[in-house]
A and B are shown apart, each in its own frame.
Chain A
Amino acid sequence: MDKLVVNLHEGQSVNGRILIGIGELELTQSIAEAINRLTSRQPDIQIDLFSTTDEDLHNKLQSGFFDFGIMLNPADTQNYNAVELPGDTTWESSLHKIVCLQHIGS
């Protein structure tokens, strides 16, 4: 990704909606923080989140309905630009553990 393309001036005001499809995941802390920083600086931008299946997410990214998708790695870098969301110890909640869920009674 060419950083020059995205390095806009802080003083510039932009409006519009950003549609983000999330593929069978819960929103991670890292992207929530980025959205918070964006909307606090650009109050005329609205974020719309859509939880959906991976297949629907790909279709709507290809058609242009979604601006972004959030998916598990490995990302499909043939068809998409991708930026890995932090998953180190500082960002514990963005680390996904695949676990087994068991019924223990009420």
Chain B
Amino acid sequence: MTPDDLTQLPLITAQQNVINTQFAQWLKKPLTTLNQVATYNFHQNAARLVSAGIGYALYLNSHSEVPQSDLAFIPLMPELTSNTSLIWSNERPPSAAAKFLIDHVYQCQSRH
């Protein structure tokens, strides 16, 4: 699925700015040039809309598993990937329990 392919299709897009910024870079044009028929903020709901035949969803896939058996993923070409961060306020000191989690996240990082 290339940028040119996508411009032909009815699309269901995420409401996340971070995804949409990346996606617009991949597309090399603003999202407003697309045929956006719906937006979502919860994966399963996007899957339901696709299942109902409303359009094609742009979907952040974490686990390579389709959410429903009647759906298939089409990889974007070129591939578009992202990763995540654990964040916490820099104005409020973390609780004792929260400090343990931070410690374990650093430990998991250093082991890989």
CB distance from A92 to the nearest CB of B (A): 8
Q: How many residues of A contact B (CB 8 A)?
A: 69
Residues of B within 8 Å of A53, CB to CB, are: 15, 41
B78 to chain A: closest CB distance in Å?
Answer: 11
Contacting residue for A61 out of B23, B85, B88, CB 8 A: B88
Q: How many residues on the B side are at the interface (Cβ–Cβ under 8 A)?
A: 69
B32: CB under 8 A from chain A?
no
Contact indicator B112/A90 (Cβ below 8 Å): yes
Q: Which of A68, A91, A105 contacts B112 (CB 8 A)?
A: A91
* Complex CA–CA separation, A98 to B62 (angstroms): 9
Q: From residue A61, how far is it (CB to closest CB) to chain B in Å?
A: 6
Chain A interface residues (CB < 8 Å from chain B): 1, 3, 5-8, 14-18, 23-26, 28, 30-31, 33-35, 37-38, 41-42, 45, 47, 51, 53-54, 61-62, 64, 67-76, 79-88, 90-91, 93-106
